Amino acid sequence: MRGRLPALGSIAAVAVLIAVLPFTLSSYNVSLVAQVGIFFVAVLGLNILTGYSGQISIGHGAFMAIGGYTSAVMSRDHHTNLIVTMLMAFAICFVLGLLVGLPALRLSGAYLALATFALAISVPQLPLQWSTFLGGTGGVQSHTTVSDRWIYGAAWSCSAILFLLAWLILRGRVGRAFRAVRDSEIAATASGIELSLYKTLAFGISAAYAGVAGVLFVMATNGFAQPTEFGIILSLQILIGAAVAGLGSLWGILAGAAFVGLLPQVSTSVPVIGSDHGRDVVFGLMVVLVMLALPDGFAGLLARLRALVRA
């Protein structure tokens, strides 16, 4: 227990900080930090898949779209409570994740990256095809909209609950199986691990997390679910967040989520370049630099620092 004290202490400190923040920040900044919370959930989910079970996905924006549309459509047609739609999005995306995980069993590495990229491109086009049900380019408007503070609370409560859930899943038998599959599929099979079961399970859990993030994401855009906001960039942001956080560790997630949630907003006002273009230049440059400087992301940096302190 004593070895865990610093870890528990830092989690408690971050939790207190996040709980206090909305009372001191302006409304705009509250929505920014809420955005970080939304990315926290999505990046956490992708890390379970890519970091722990070793399957890359550039398609998690697709699951966010499915979650977001589930919530918006249920709210529009049945006035369902938004918290309930989160549970529904979790369940639906879990099942769809399992279904996507099945064909993904045949693919790995670069091929899986391309296949999931295809998913991210194709899914946001579906509302254009079934426009009467899914609203076409105009999107779907939820029946209820909520305030920035509400979203902030919801996003960070979800983050806390899902972080705990991820920790519980990953510390035990299932997490061990995931890591074994990631490190060597053949060795894992030889130790009696059912490959197809655990690989699809990782896809399901990860997609369910993305689904919840999608619901929060739609709430944050005034309850509007639109095809354009779930473009390929969203999927890329989640992947970048997971890599910057550090794959295969839960300690860097906050940094990864803050990186993709805040950096594009903060860098709109860089000197010299200025305005909108500066955002892409700085963001792209930072992505490349962080990947070169921190091969294992912020989690790796933390681990190295801890080793330094101990030595």
Partner 1 sequence: METLTSPLAGLRARGIALGGAITVYLLLGGGAVFLLVGCLQSTRFAQLTVSGLAVGAAYGSLALALVLIYRATHVINFAQGELAMATTYIAYQLIQWGLSYWEAFAATLAIAFVLGTALELVVIRPVQHRSVIAAVIVSVGLFILIDGVVNWIWGGGIRFMQSPFSGSYDLGGVNIQHLYAGMLGVVLGCVLLVWALFRFTKLGLGMRAAALRPAAAALAGVRVDWMLALGWGLAAVLGAVAGMMYEPSQLLLTPTFMQEALVYAFAAAVLGGLESPGGAVVGGLAIGVFLNLLAGYLPQVVSLEVPFAFAVLLAILLVKPSGLFGRREVSRV
Q: Is 138 in the site for partner 1 (CB under 8 A)?
A: no
Q: Binding mask 269-288 vs partner 1 (x if CB under 8 A, - otherwise)?
A: ----x--xxxxxxxxxxxxx
Q: Is 114 in the site for partner 1 (CB under 8 A)?
A: yes
Interhelix angle 148-171/27-46, nearest 10 degrees: 20
Residues 6+ apart with CB under 8 A from 244: 252, 255, 256, 259, 260, 287, 290, 291, 294, 297, 298
Using CB under 8 A as the binding rule, the residues of this chain from 233 to 252 that contact partner 1 are: 236, 239-240, 243, 247
Question: Which residue number, 26 or 275, has a Cβ lying nearer to partner 1?
Answer: 275
How many Å apart are CA 124 and CA 75, to the nearest integer? 20
How many Å apart are CA 202 and CA 286, to the nearest integer? 29
Question: Which residue number, 6 or 109, has a Cβ lying nearer to partner 1?
Answer: 109
Q: Is 103 in the site for partner 1 (CB under 8 A)?
A: yes
Q: What is the DSSP letter of 130?
A: S
The single residue listed with the structure tokens 């993030």 is 213
Question: Which residue number, 71 or 226, has a Cβ lying nearer to partner 1?
Answer: 226
Q: Is 84 in the site for partner 1 (CB under 8 A)?
A: no
**The binder of partner 1 chosen from 17, 186, 308, 309 (CB under 8 A):** 186
Do 286 and 298 meet the contact criterion of CB atoms below 8 Å apart? no
Q: Is 183 in the site for partner 1 (CB under 8 A)?
A: no
How many Å apart are CA 173 and CA 176, to the nearest integer? 5
Residues 6+ apart with CB under 8 A from 151: 31, 34, 216, 219, 220
Query: Which region, judged by CB under 8 A, interacts with partner 1, from 106-114, 139-147, 171-179, 299-307?
Result: 106-114
Q: Is 226 in the site for partner 1 (CB under 8 A)?
A: no
What are the residues binding partner 1 (CB under 8 A)?
50, 56, 58, 103, 106-107, 109-111, 113-115, 117-119, 121-122, 125, 128-129, 184, 186, 236, 239-240, 243, 247, 273, 276-288, 291-292, 295
